[in-house]
Structure formats: structure tokens, C-alpha cells
Amino acid sequence: MNDIPSPVCGIFGHPGPLWKKDLRLSDLGINALFVDSPSLDGETIERARDEGCLVFAEFATLNGLYDDYVAEHPEAHPIGADGQPAAPATWFMGACPTDPGFRASRMKALRSLLETYDVDGVWMDYLHWHAQFEDPYPQLVKTCFNDSCLAAFTSWSDVDIEGETTAQKADWILHHAPRQWEDWRVSVLVDWAREIRETVKQVRPRALVGNYQAAWKEEDFWGARRRCLGLDFDALAPYVDVFSPMLYHGHSGMSPEYLKEYVEYFCERHLIRTEAGRLPRLWPIVQAQATPPVSADELARVLEYGLGADSSGVMIFTSASVADDPEKAEVVRNIYTGVARG
């Protein structure tokens, strides 16, 4: 891995749309490229590095739509508190994190990715229990109550679950052992992060491990980040070099100013000051995608907010959105080259 620039001025998505417009990454001030792993290839990595970029791979972690895994393996479909398979969200279907087949398939895919491409890091994506959080009215469900989860919870907690049916067992847990259940669900995700980090470091010792996650505070949606998604950032911190909250203000129905508030909150709450700076690092991902519409002026604001407080980087979602709008491309050029000059 090359030295990490300060700050990281990143963009998410294959750079092809930018290159088709004869835009060089370095001319826009972009020094880090984040690409979903199926879109990676050696030629892209080589050209991006020639244009001064680190290259990071997004890795779909608990996305059951990946390779249609859940559709083809119903045992990996999350089970809700009613004992029935959980309904899909608007565009996401999570997989059960305790299903051994699914976990083995993702770890195999991760190792293959790392052995194939000399990336500078891997960003975990969809590291959460089944839910949808990027909408103004998110889908928040409590899963999973299938046999592998119930057995794993019993072994971890030493709690004897009462009830005959799955629904009865789920009801008993949520009324008699809700905190143990919440803590166990956090531990499951932490263990995924631990294994992913170990795999990354075995194959690419200098590569970073990042995480894309819900940009929620502890109190948002009545504590749903930990209670429903199973995300505890402090518990994940030993295994994550960089946190990248998905601060998509348009998708989430938030104002751009929420980014400023959240970045300051995250830096104060979850980063620790060390001799090397604030760790783990914070590189938010912000929305340029025009669904719903995001203006060039808004993009400028969210980029500046994303670089605020003790953040040491930011990235834009997506490369195609910047390539398709000359005003947004100019915003990226002005801000990124400006911060590089200091």
C-alpha cells in the first residue's frame, strides 16, 4: 500500500464515466478510488495508480442479493420475530449472519479478491443485520430467529429459551432477554469484522480495512443502530481502520447541514486521539447522485462538511454522477485541488 494522502479525496464507482469525458482523476484532485469489487480489473487499477490514486475495493458483506445467494439458499434467509422469512427492503435483502454456508462463501470471495488484485484496502459494505437505512422512513426489523441463530445465542448467552414455535421463542427472547440478544447480535458482526480483517492482513498486510455504515447517532430511531442493525462502532473499532458513514442526505431526507453535525458527533464520540492523529480514521461518503436531485452547490457543502472536524478524508458517491454534470466536476476540482494545496 502506498502512503495515505492527507486528506483523502476519494470517489466511489468505476472511473470509466470520467475517463470517457477525458477527465483524469489527478486533474480533479482525486487521490483515492473506491470500486465495487465485481467492477475491478487490473487495467483499471494500473491506470488509476498512474493518475495518482490509491485503489480500494468495496466488498459486499451481508448482502444476500449477491450472487442471488438467499434466493438459492433459503436457509440463509433471515427469519423475523413472527417466525416467517423477513420481507425484503426496497432494494436490499440481508442474509443471516450465522448461516455457515453464506459466511464461508463470502470469506472465499474475499480471499479470491485479495489474491487477484493488489488493492490498498477493502471496505466492508452491508455489515449489518437485515434492514434498510438509507430511506427517510427506514425499514427496521429484528432478525434473525432461525435455528442457527437461536442455537448460537443460547451457546453465547447461556440463556434457556422458552417456547415451542419460532414465534414463541422470539417473543420470549424480546421480553425476557432483550439486552443479551442485542449484545449477542453485536458480537456476531464484530466476529465477521475480525475474520475479514484477519483475511485482509494475511494476504495484503499493509491494506486498510474500512466500513460503510448507517450514519445514525446512538439515539436516532430509538437506538435502532445498535438494537436493529447490530452496529456498535466502539466494539468494531479494533478491526476497522476507517469508518465511512453513508451520509446520503438526499436519499435520507436530511439537510446538508446534518453532515456537519454528524461528522462533529462521530469525531467526538468514536475517535481516539493518538500520536498518529485521531484513530480509527473517518472518511465519510457523501451524495452527488441526483436521485433525488443534488445540486452542485449542495455537493460543495457536503464535501466541505465531510472534511470537517477531525475527518481525514471524504469520498463522493458516485463517479458517474460527477462525470454527467460539468458543474459538479468543477466543484470536485475546486475543492479537492484546494485542500491538496492546503
Kindly list the averaged pLDDT for each block of 10 residues, start to end, along the chain of length 342.
90 98 98 97 98 98 90 96 92 94 97 98 96 79 96 97 98 98 98 98 98 94 93 96 95 92 96 76 96 93 97 97 98 94 70
Write the CATH number for 213: 3.20.20.80
Residue 239: which domain range? 8-73+90-136+189-341
3-state secondary structure 44-90: HHHHHHHCCCEEEEEEECCECCHHHHHHHCHHHCCECCCCCECCCCC
User: Residue 1 has what pLDDT?
Assistant: 64
User: Residue 134 has what pLDDT?
Assistant: 76
User: Residue 206 has what pLDDT?
Assistant: 96
User: Residue 159 has what pLDDT?
Assistant: 97
Q: What is the rounded distance in angstroms from the CA atom of residue 73 to the CA atom of residue 213?
A: 26
User: Residue 90 has what pLDDT?
Assistant: 79
Helix axes 296-306, 326-341, angle to 10 degrees: 30
* 297 in a structural domain: yes
CA nearest to 224, candidates 136, 131, 146, 156:
131
The domain tally of the chain equals: 1
* 172 in a structural domain: no
Extended beta strands in the chain, E state: 8-12, 32-36, 54-60, 121-125, 208-214, 242-247, 272-274, 277-279, 281-282, 285-287, 313-317
User: Residue 275 has what pLDDT?
Assistant: 65
* 173 in a structural domain: no
User: Residue 137 has what pLDDT?
Assistant: 72
- Give per-residue pLDDT as tens, 131-145: 888 777 777 889 999
* 165 in a structural domain: no
Q: What is the rounded distance in angstroms from the CA atom of residue 124 to the CA atom of residue 240?
A: 9
N-to-C CA span, the chain = 24
* 146 in a structural domain: no
User: Residue 342 has what pLDDT?
Assistant: 67
Are 39 and 14 in contact, with CB atoms under 8 Å apart? Answer: yes
* 203 in a structural domain: yes
3-state secondary structure of 336: helix
* 180 in a structural domain: no
User: Residue 135 has what pLDDT?
Assistant: 74
- Give per-residue pLDDT as tens, 168-214: 999 999 999 999 999 999 999 999 999 999 999 999 999 999 999 99
3-state secondary structure of 303: helix
User: Residue 15 has what pLDDT?
Assistant: 98
Q: What is the rounded distance in angstroms from the CA atom of residue 313 to the CA atom of residue 4?
A: 10
* 309 in a structural domain: yes
